[in-house]
Structure 1
Amino acid sequence: MFQTVVECGTMAKASMQLHCVPSNITTRIKQLEEELGSPLFYREGKTLKLTPSGEIFLEYCHKILALCDEAKRSIHPDAPPSGPLRIGAIESSASTHLPRLLAQYHQHYPDVSIQIITGTWKQLLLDVSQHKLDAAMVAGAIDFPCLNKVEIYQENMVLIAPASMGIIRNQEDLINKEIFMWTEGCPYRAALETWLKLKHISLPITSITNYATIIGCVSAGLGVSLIPKSIYAQYKNLPQLCSYEFDRLATIPVHFFWHQKILNHKARDAFLKLLTLEFLEKNQ
């Protein structure tokens, strides 16, 4: 109840989701606060905001409910995968590699309610570590405390530029050019910055958190970017768009992360198995 109230923002909305009357939720939350000896919400009219104690208790709620789900799955070892599955993914994976896989997964496991959440690599891994996500697909050679990982595929990268800029042969050709990339921390951005540093070049980068906007800026003649080849394939017919491949910018690994302490999760494990088979077949 507490978690649902936090997600909905009001007792009334939470009661609709939980199919009970608001007064029941109000009473139960007050009992919980009395048991804990601390208020969990600031009450501003009908709107509720978490107190510092509420913020702390919410983190434990995620862990408690994740363990409850694991316990239920453990009781039925022979049952097929079922229940909710929350997968995080960077946008390039979610928009290009996952759609066909999700169709296959739903065909095999119709009782699993799967949810795909996109975000930055740091936020996705943080959410997995806090049990807000069951797993995440993230690019880059990254390690994260308390998470296991396995490489699932290599993302091929291309540098894109408008035809009006002429041919891009090396790092020097990017000097005085506008660069559009995702925010700091993005492994693709880091790869481009590392490549420029090989020639002792440091250039300002404009942060944009959407590939369609990045490609729109490049095709309009405003600058250049480094993007996954799978994303470029969706826009390669744009007349003003050119692509370039360089050895030091060739590939970036994409890993599948999950929490070390969540050992038994049939829906997640089935997803990983299907994911591994999908890219294993592509690489053969």
Structure 2
Amino acid sequence: MELRNLRTFQVVAEHLNLTKAAEHLGYSQPTITLQIKALERELGHSLLNRVGKKTFLTPAGKVVRQYTEQLFSVMQLMEEELNHLNNPFGNLVVAAPEFYCTQYMPHMLKSYLEMHPQVNLQVISCSSQEALRRVNNHEADIGIIAGTCDLSDIYASVVDLEEFALVATPEMIAGRSFSEVLEQYPFLSYQEGCNLDGFISQCLAEINYSPQSVIKCTSEETIKRSVLNHTGVAFLSTALIQAELRSGAVEELHRFSRRAETSIICLKRRKDEAAIETFAELVTDVWQSVRENQ
């Protein structure tokens, strides 16, 4: 049974006028007649009656019209569902550290929603380790993390290589040698389990620095504010403290040669979903330009 013939019958049943049906479908009237007759032969029932100049549906025609409308309604729903696979829609939860949320996300969210207004975005500020956990446990669709990811089910795409420096305030450095500053002040560090633990250890080994006194902090922002309060020396991304470095509020004790990966992550089996794929592409496309304009 050809869908074309069913579609022709649906239009004829709606108008009950072969001329109008032909105009609607862009067919000639003889073509309409041939298609209806082919459908009647296939079904074994007459579908239309003509009385004078008027056309009526037979009892069989009324039944076929009912199911034809249901058929094309279901086909329309199917097409809409298939279109959703190619067009982002629904909820999209993004988990990322506070610095990324405040410095990068506002630009990206505006651009993304202008392109895909049918997506409902939610941004969660958390540590990189927590972002990894949330993505792995289906509590977030996308994460942006500092450091590497070794989970087998996670797909990671590097968007940046961050530089890090050991920093202190000018007041802490004044009149003291490098070693004296390190000996006198505690080291401000991330809580244990940070995604950068291994990277930090490698960097500190570069300068043979084994802090005797360590203060654990919950976020980069806490570490930065503690440095500005002359509490201790800190290991921080230079992107996070660009303004403070320019103003002289903090000074570099040492800039490390190693760089840490910044990656966008999602579950491997979900990376081709439209909302996830388009958001990841946007992050990749605009990350560097956002950073340069900070």
Matched, 1:196 2:204: yes
Quote how far apart the aligned CAs of 1:274 are.
0.8
Distance 1:90 1:169 in 2: 34
Distance 1:172 1:145 in 2: 44
| Counterpart AA for 1:86 | V
The partner residue of 1:149 within 140, 156, 161 is: 156
Matched, 1:246 2:255: yes
Distance 2:165 2:152 in 1: 31
The partner residue of 2:214 within 205, 220, 232 is: 205
Q: Please name the residue that 2:118 is paired with.
A: 111
Match of 2:257, SS state, is helix
The partner residue of 1:224 within 233, 255, 258 is: 233
Match of 1:75, SS state, is helix
The partner residue of 1:91 within 93, 98, 103 is: 98
Residue deviations 1:104-149, cap 9 Å, x none? 1111111111111122222221211121111111111221121111
Residue deviations 1:237-266, cap 9 Å, x none? 6664223452435x2110111112225421
Task: Give the alignment's TM-score, normalised by structure 1.
Answer: 0.64
Q: 1:282 to 1:238 in 2, by over 3 A?
A: closer
Distance 1:149 1:117 in 2: 18
Residue deviations 1:23-71, cap 9 Å, x none? xxxxxxxxxxxxxxxxxxxxxxxxxxxxxxxxxxxxxxxxxxxxxxxx9
The Cα RMSD (Å) is: 3.1
Quote how far apart the aligned CAs of 1:212 are.
3.5
Residue deviations 1:168-212, cap 9 Å, x none? 886775233211122123244543332333454421321112334
| Counterpart AA for 1:180 | L
Q: 1:230 to 1:246 in 2, by over 3 A?
A: closer
Q: Please name the residue that 1:138 is paired with.
A: 145
| Counterpart AA for 1:223 | G
| Counterpart AA for 1:85 | L
Match of 1:231, SS state, is coil
Max Rg structure:
2
Q: 1:134 to 1:78 in 2, by over 3 A?
A: closer
Q: Please name the residue that 1:182 is paired with.
A: 190
Task: Give the alignment's TM-score, normalised by structure 2.
Answer: 0.62
| Counterpart AA for 1:269 | E
Q: Please name the residue that 1:158 is paired with.
A: 165
Distance 2:133 2:210 in 1: 30
Distance 2:242 2:114 in 1: 27
Q: Please name the residue that 1:66 is paired with.
A: none
Match of 1:271, SS state, is helix
Question: Contact between 2:143 and 2:264, CA under 8 Å: does it hold in 1?
Answer: yes
| Counterpart AA for 2:93 | R
Distance 1:77 1:222 in 2: 53
Q: Please name the residue that 1:4 is paired with.
A: none
Distance 2:242 2:80 in 1: 40
| Counterpart AA for 1:93 | Y
Q: 1:149 to 1:158 in 2, by over 3 A?
A: same
Distance 1:212 1:282 in 2: 19
The partner residue of 2:135 within 128, 131, 149 is: 128
Question: Contact between 2:141 and 2:266, CA under 8 Å: does it hold in 1?
Answer: yes
The partner residue of 1:267 within 254, 272, 275 is: 275
List gaps (5 residues or longer) in structure 2. Answer: 1-77
Distance 2:207 2:250 in 1: 25
Q: Please name the residue that 2:49 is paired with.
A: none
Residue deviations 1:144-173, cap 9 Å, x none? 121111101112223220112227886775
